[in-house]
């Protein structure tokens, strides 16, 4: 989000996160912005103001909250760990109340919006209204905003100094597909599973077991799925025997002529979604995932391992979407 907003011409002051390995990535790509590594539940508003030299009631100040979204996601995972970060919107509210910024942006998974019975979002929207903010919110598809993914997100834009309009969709813009971003014509040489690229390009891939190599080799190119080996007793997975219609994306290949699925923190893993390369016999690489998230090829990621890199990329707001949001904020502010 910080990088995309900066690309729109917005001066970024800083960001708060408790991840250790994000500091170098953040500060390498968002010049002048400070990375504050802190548990936000233990960070006071005055301390944040001191570190970033913030003023109260600044009409041009933007607060953007993109808290961890795993708890509200449809993905069927153990929610115990993510419960710790499920209600950070309340912490975000604390800083808004203290500083009263001109603008507020929230980006999250659609589940936060659809599960209104939890009361968290309802209370936050009531808070905004009671403190003089008008807002527009709803579910958007990032594919309508320059991102080659079917990535459904909840987006809220609020202001107390300008009248907010929904993020506009360009009706003449062509939806982007996988082939627009990865593949040999786009500068991605053919590689295999377990490839290590020690350059800053980071075209590295996770290794595959011998059986998974065989599975993807018989999966048809550009959109094939595990139905291709469902009747092979050696390749079929016990959990899916007789249940071939569930989780069809798992072990599948992306299609060249369609948007990618949502890039998650596990996109380098063939068994965690439709993350197979459309043609080559492997899951997509770190840099291919970054490209599908619309990070430029010279964006520097720093982490000691592939999983850390994938987590940073999958958790990110696609910069192209963030840039559109930033341009919209500028237009709203200028009337």
Q: DSSP assignment of 214-233, as one string?
A: HHHHTSPTTT--GGGGTT-T
Q: What angle do CA 132, 138, 144 make, to 5 degrees?
A: 125
Instruction: Give pLDDT, residue 76.
Output: 52
Residues labelled catalytic: 69
From 49, 24, 6, 68, select the one nearest 303 (Cα to Cα): 24
Percent of the chain with pLDDT over 70: 93
CATH fold label, 182-293: DNA Methylase; Chain A, domain 2 (3.90.120)
Task: List pLDDT tens digits, range 266-281.
Answer: 999 999 999 999 999 9
Q: What is the arithmetic mean of pLDDT over 41-66?
A: 97
Q: Is 309 helix (H, G, I), strand (E, B) or coil?
A: helix
Q: What is the arithmetic mean of pLDDT over 280-305?
A: 97
Per-domain residue ranges of the chain = 2-171+317-333, 182-293
Under CATH, which architecture does the 2-171+317-333 domain have? 3-Layer(aba) Sandwich (3.40)
Answer whether 43's CB lies under 8 Å from 52's CB. Answer: no
Q: Is 48 helix (H, G, I), strand (E, B) or coil?
A: helix
Mean of all residue pLDDT scores within the chain = 92
Helices then strands (H, E): number in the chain? 10, 6
Q: Has this prediction a pTM greater than 0.85?
A: yes
What is the three-state SS of 90-107?
A: HHHHHHHHHHCCCEEEEE
Q: Give Cα separations from 98 to 47, 55, 59, 150, 294 (angstroms).
A: 12, 10, 14, 36, 34
Q: Give Cα separations from 253 to 67, 206, 244 (angstroms).
A: 30, 15, 16
Q: Are strands 103-108 and 62-65 parallel, antiparallel or unpaired?
A: parallel
Q: What torsion, rounded to 10 degrees, do the Cα atoms 257, 224, 249, 22 define?
A: -60
């Amino acid at each position: 989000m910080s990088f995309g907003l900066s690309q729109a011409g917005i001066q970024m002051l800083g960001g708060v996160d408790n991840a250790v390995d994000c500091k170098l990535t953040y500060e390498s790509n968002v010049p002048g912005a400070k990375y504050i590594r802190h548990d936000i539940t233990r960070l006071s508003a005055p301390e944040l103001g001191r570190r970033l030299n913030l003023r109260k009631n600044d009409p041009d100040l933007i607060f953007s909250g993109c808290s961890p979204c795993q708890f509200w996601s449809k993905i069927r995972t153990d929610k115990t760990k993510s419960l710790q970060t499920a209600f950070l919107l309340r912490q975000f509210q604390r800083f808004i109340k203290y500083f009263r910024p001109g603008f507020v942006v929230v980006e999250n998974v659609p589940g936060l919006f659809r599960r209104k019975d939890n009361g968290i979002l309802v209370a936050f929207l009531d808070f905004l209204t009671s403190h003089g903010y008008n807002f527009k919110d709803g579910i958007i598809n990032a594919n309508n905003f320059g991102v080659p993914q079917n990535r459904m997100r909840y987006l809220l834009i609020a202001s107390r100094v300008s009248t907010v309009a929904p993020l506009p969709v360009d009706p003449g813009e062509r939806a982007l597909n996988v082939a627009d971003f990865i593949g040999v014509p786009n500068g991605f040489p053919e590689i295999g599973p377990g490839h290590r690229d020690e350059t800053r390009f980071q075209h590295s891939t996770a290794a595959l077991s011998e059986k998974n190599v065989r599975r993807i080799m018989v999966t048809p190119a550009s959109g094939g799925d595990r139905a291709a080996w469902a009747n092979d007793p050696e390749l079929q997975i016990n959990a899916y025997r007789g249940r071939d219609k569930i989780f069809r994306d798992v072990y599948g290949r992306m299609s060249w002529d369609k948007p990618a699925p949502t890039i998650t923190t596990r996109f380098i893993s063939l068994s965690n979604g439709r993350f197979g390369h459309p043609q080559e016999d492997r899951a997509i690489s770190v840099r291919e995932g970054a490209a599908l998230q619309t990070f430029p090829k010279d964006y520097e990621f720093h982490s000691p391992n592939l999983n850390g890199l994938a987590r940073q990329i999958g958790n990110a707001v696609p910069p192209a979407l963030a840039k559109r949001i930033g341009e919209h904020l500028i237009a709203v502010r200028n009337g």
